[in-house]
Amino acid sequence: AWRESEIKRTKTVCTYCGVGCAFEMWTRDRTILKVQPVEEAPVNGISTCVKGKFGWDFVNAEDRLTTPLIRENGEFRPASWEEAYALIARRFLEIKEAHGPDALSFVASSKCTNEESYLVQKLARAVIGTNNVDNCSRYCQSPATQGLWRTVGYGGDEGSIEDLEGAELLLIVGSNTAESHPVIATRLKQAQKHRGQRHIVADLRRHEMVERADEHIHPRPGTDLVWISAMTKYILDQGLEDRAFLDEKVNGLDEYLDSLAPFTLEYAEAETGIAAARLADLARQIADAGSVCAIWAMGVTQHVNGSDVSTALANLMLVTGNSGRPNTGCYPMRGHNNVQGTSDFGAMPGRFPGYEFVADDQVRARYEAGWGVTLPKEKGYNNHTMVQAMHDRKIRAMYVLAEEMALVDANARHVQEGFDQLDFMVVQEIFFTRTCEQADVVLPGAPSVEKEGTYVNTERRFQRLYEVMPPLTGCKADWRILTELAQALGADWDYQNPSEIMDEAASLAPMFAGVSYDRLEGFDSLQWPVRADGADTPHLYLDGYPFEDGKARLYPLDFHAPSEPVNEEYDLHVNNGRLLETFHEGNLTHRSRGLRSQVPGNFVEVSPQLAEARGIKTGSLVKLISRHGEISVHVLVTDRVAGNEVYVPENATDNEHAINMLASNHADKDSHTPAFKEISARLEVVQVE
């Protein structure tokens, strides 16, 4: 047994999902003894889920990268930091000289801190001179952000998790909250059980939130816009809207009403498979409830009309007056621990930190003065358009920070072939991932517990993480790597501590004017926007909307049918998403023994009807073959899925099993988020036993 005095207790924030659980980590040297949640944690109190509690073995995994690697004659060899920096600087400057700054491209990481995201976009913009910078919100919630910008103004959840708990009714669409945001789900389940909160859940798959729902609907894949708009039209036709709220606080009703004309309940029934009477009943429940919040996630956004469906949900909340007051509003659930913050801090092709436009001359002038450089004006490539730009040789060099881009973007083989076209590629990672295989230089970074910084969770809440242990020998904190690389490229960066980076960001981005490490001491937190005097904003629209006249806007919409629907040849709809015990592709969770033991490999959920029709059973090995690729997975027969709809988790770190080998290049028309949820495939039996 260890003496109490040998145990170090450090506050940190979970590295997995966007809920933002904070806790103390108990360590002795590099040994993680336990994760201890504490009352003061603003989001989770004394709760965590299984990942936050037991998902940390990866920190001390034997296969951590511990030295820079340089590819030479097709093989990687260890190199010094100086040699690696010198090579990257030389190649980047050569490529910039030969092809211009827009031939280089940067991807920030939602696993990394706000300060690191800030540095990635500053490196791209101020040091290289390009706006080609993005992050993985492009793969998940960019459509939600788009929908909120159009209607209510800010690209973040309207209120706090407390508002979700306090609502009378929740409309939960395409969100497997219990597995993807477990601690929030626990709070919602308690609100349902103890305070009579009602849950209307729309989903293809019978996950736990569906099992516990008061009402469940199962629309045909890709038809959410139709049933949501039909309910909204019904509410307006029946005079059930919040007329006073619309008159006082919302613009655009007439044009919006015109756009709703096609969305009759009868049309919705034909298109979605949900009976008109059922939709009318649900619409009445929403209109009658005293307070409603809409929750959604990837089941909404990862479609060719993901932005429009997000907008439709915001429209519905506005029509029913469920905005601008406590316990109401729109709550897209952010996926990664810091996917909100990575966008907030400017790792986007058209926006500076705090979402100000790079094309705005006044804003650009502020950053030019702050950074002492001339900045590019044109919006850059995003994660999705970067891939085609690699194929077209418009992008020649790439810097990827802690993102398993080779497997987590759609049509993964196409992405990997894009990397093949590059002249030079750098990956900064903690493990040698599938993406590293295609790099020219790999730099060993540090996981969350080996550095300081801040994250922003799904409710726009800043929280500090402290260094639990120093970086593993040979590794460096990612902000330090970015700083030293910028110096190698000739910049005069001199950050000694991440707090200096936050101070700089706060001085330039009005949205974060009052954010400082002092105000985030310990378990203290702030929700943006944060005024210079430190006043933060738990609820966004209590005093109106951030448009010139202070009013929200109803946004007219059309229906766009899903890409690649099932047909005779590709007769299965392949849904996909997370599991409780694994996180995304699994580079972290697969290295945590307890979690791995729960989910040893990838699989496909198959309905009892489909299993019988194909003569397969739980444990059978099958191939799923789409127009774009194929994977091999074992079968799990379950009534969580129905008919010819199957479900494959994002749970594989190789080409043979990764779901995104099946996905297409189709993307949301407004945000370019890939249509990950619009996969059709055929099934071939490899082995029944």
CA 323 to chain CA centroid, nearest Å: 23
Min dist CB 470 to ligand SF4, Å, is 23
Q: Give the pair of three-digit tokens for residue 126.
A: 């101020």
Minimum gap (Å) between residue 580 Cβ and ligand SF4? 9
CB of 464 to ligand SF4, least distance (A): 15
Shortest Å, Cβ 673 to ligand SF4: 22
CA atoms within 13 A on the CB side of 297: 24
Stretch that binds ligand SF4, among 13-21, 136-144, 158-166, 229-237 (CB under 6 A): 13-21
183 binds ligand SF4 (CB under 6 A): yes
Q: Which amino acid is at 342?
A: T
- Least separation in angstroms between residue 330's CB and ligand SF4 is 20
In the complex, the smallest distance separating the C-beta of residue 185 from ligand SF4, rounded to whole angstroms, is 8
Asked if residue 586 binds ligand SF4 (CB under 6 A), the reply is: no
562 binds ligand SF4 (CB under 6 A): no
Q: SS3 of 251, please? A: strand
Helix crossing, 383-391 with 412-421: angle to 10°?
50
Nearest to 111 by CA among 611, 446, 592, 565: 446
The smaller minimum CB distance to ligand SF4, of residues 335 and 353, is found at 335
579 counts as binding ligand SF4 under rule CB under 6 A: no
Closer Cβ to ligand SF4, 49 or 339, answer by number: 49
Q: Are 476 and 85 in contact (CB under 8 A)?
A: no
Q: Which is nearer to ligand SF4, 14 or 406 (CB)?
A: 14
Q: Which is nearer to ligand SF4, 334 or 677 (CB)?
A: 334
Whole-angstrom Cα distance, residue 558 to residue 224?
12
Q: Is the peptide bond before 529 cis (omega within 30 degrees of 0)?
A: yes
Considering beta carbons, is residue 44 or 342 the nearer one to ligand SF4?
44
Min separation Cβ 48 and ligand SF4, Å: 4
* 11, 12, 16, 390: residue in contact with ligand SF4 (rule CB under 6 A): 16
Q: Which is nearer to ligand SF4, 142 or 589 (CB)?
A: 589
Nearer to ligand SF4, 582 or 620 (CB): 582
CB of 213 to ligand SF4, least distance (A): 20
DSSP string, 412-423: HHHHHHHHHH-S
CA-closest candidate to residue 509, choices 351, 335, 684? 351
458 is a site residue for ligand SF4 (CB under 6 A):
no
Residues 190-249, interacting with ligand SF4 (CB under 6 A): none
Measured CA to CA, the distance from residue 319 to residue 247 in angstroms comes to 10
Q: Is 306 in the site for ligand SF4 (CB under 6 A)?
A: no
User: Where do the H-state alpha helices sit in 238-338?
Assistant: 243-249, 253-260, 265-272, 276-288, 298-301, 306-319
CB distance 390 to 417 below 8 Å = no
- Is 341 a residue that touches ligand SF4 (CB under 6 A)? no
Of the listed pieces 16-24, 238-246, 391-399, 511-519, which binds ligand SF4 according to CB under 6 A?
Answer: 16-24
Report which residue's Cβ sits closest to ligand SF4.
52
By DSSP bridging, strand 397-401 and strand 552-553 are unpaired
CA distance readout (Å), 502 to 121, 346, 454, 462: 14, 13, 9, 11
Q: How far is the CB of 650 from ligand SF4 (least distance, A)?
A: 14
- The first and second tokens of residue 528, run together, are 């943006």
* Contact between residue 124 and residue 133 where contact means Cβ atoms under 8 Å apart: yes
In the sheet with 75-78, reading across from the earlier edge strand, the strands are 75-78, 69-72, 441-444, 424-429, 397-401, 104-107, 133-134
- By CB under 6 A, tell whether 161 contacts ligand SF4: no
Place of tokens 């299993």: 611
* 164 counts as binding ligand SF4 under rule CB under 6 A: no
Residue 14 interacting with ligand SF4 (CB under 6 A): yes
**Percent helix / strand / coil, the chain, rounded to 5:** 35, 20, 45
182 in contact with ligand SF4 (CB under 6 A): yes
Give exposure, 441-460, as e/b (b: 16+ Cβ within 10 Å): bbbbbbbbbbbbbbbbbbbb
Least distance from ligand SF4 to the Cβ atom of residue 14, Å? 3
Give the shortest CB-42-to-ligand SF4 separation in angstroms.
12
158: left (phi over 0), alpha (psi -120 to 50) or beta: alpha
- Closest distance between ligand SF4 and the C-beta of residue 571, in Å? 35
59 binds ligand SF4 (CB under 6 A): no
Residue 22 interacts with ligand SF4 (CB under 6 A)?
no
In this structure, what token pair is assigned to residue 134?
Answer: 């993005």
Q: What is the rounded CA–CA span in Å between residue 460 and residue 457?
A: 5
Q: Give the chain's radius of gyration (CA, Å).
A: 24
Residue type at 442?
Answer: V
- Smallest gap from Cβ 663 to ligand SF4, in A, equals 24
In the stretch 369-408, what mask flags binding to ligand SF4 with x, by CB under 6 A? ----------------------------------------
607 and 592 in contact (C-beta within 8 Å)? no
Interface residues for ligand SF4 in 28-57 (CB under 6 A)? 44, 48-49, 51-52
Size of the site for ligand SF4 (CB under 6 A): 13
Looking at the Cβ atoms of 27 and 177, the one nearer to ligand SF4 is 177
Nearer to ligand SF4, 337 or 664 (CB): 337
Contacts with ligand SF4 by CB under 6 A lie at 14, 16-17, 19-21, 44, 48-49, 51-52, 182-183
